Amino acid sequence: MLASSSPRRRQLLNLIGIAHDVRPANIDVSARPREVPRRHAERLAREKASAVATRDPDLVTIGADTVVVINRTVLGKPADGDEAARMLALLSGREHLVITAVAVSRGKKLRSAIEEVRVKFRRLRDDEIWAYIATGEPMDKAGAYGIQGFGATIVERIEGDYFAVMGLPLVRLVGLLTLSITRRSLSNASWPVASSIGTQRASFTSQSWSFVSPET
């Protein structure tokens, strides 16, 4: 079950063969006073997973949240083109941090993990910034860019998990799923799974999964 309007996260779930439908999760995504970005992302991922899990405890529920941070400033989704231009100008020629948290809930179990990636933009001219905004791509993304689209032409380098920048760290996710699935859920389809606790073999059924993200 995918509780998100994010085509990127849905694309990534399809990429690794996880069948899913869509169900939105409605929670307050505001940051708490003095809440650091890493803690904020993980809390939201866990709250989103829990929100859908309470509706149907039998579902494996996936929650995720991504924040973009530069000089201790958190960049969310731009409200309009002018705000997108300010964000892109701030990121131009500089390095920033992308933090993506993912959580998996099933029954009474809730597990989470965090992936941090360093990203550097090349220097952008004003006309390049506005040409990118004209594509419409920046408007529904934290930090006003998407690395998997036209945004690939403005990213000079990354250090870390590419899929975490897209919004879903797949290695972390599959590791959490491995811990959450019981032996009765296993089928004949076997995957190599690299997780934060090591590398192992795991099998998954074609059951429906529940996915919750900040892009609802």
Give per-residue pLDDT as tens, 39-86.
Answer: 999 999 999 988 888 777 778 888 999 999 999 899 989 999 999 999
| Mean pLDDT value of segment 164-193 | 71
Higher-scoring residue by pLDDT: 79, 19:
79
- Smallest Cα–Cα separation from 1: which of 173, 210, 206? 210
Per-residue tokens: 212: 């919750």
| Mean pLDDT value of segment 18-26 | 73
Residues 84-136 pLDDT 10s: 999 999 999 999 999 999 999 888 889 999 999 999 999 999 999 999 999 99
- Active-site residues, by number, are 65
> pLDDT-based confidence at 200, cuts 50/70/90?
very low
Mean pLDDT of the chain: 82
Query: Domain-by-domain residue ranges, the chain?
Result: 7-183
Handedness of CA 179, 183, 187, 193 (dihedral sign): positive
CA distance 79 to 83: 6
Its pTM surpasses 0.85 = no
- Smallest Cα–Cα separation from 121: which of 165, 79, 78, 77? 165
Higher-scoring residue by pLDDT: 19, 171:
171
Q: How far is CA 152 from CA 63, 119, 129, 135, 157, in A?
A: 25, 11, 13, 13, 10
> pLDDT-based confidence at 3, cuts 50/70/90?
low
Does 153 score more than 70 pLDDT? Answer: yes
Pairing of strands 2-3, 209-212: parallel
Share of the chain above pLDDT 90, in %: 54
Does 28 score more than 90 pLDDT? Answer: no
Residues 6 or more apart in contact with residue 95 via CB below 8 angstroms: 70, 118, 119, 120
Residue with token string 């530069």: 70
Quickly list DSSP for 42-59.
HHHHHHHHHHHHTT-TTS
| Mean pLDDT value of segment 193-210 | 34
CATH 3.90.950.10 holds for 7-183 = yes
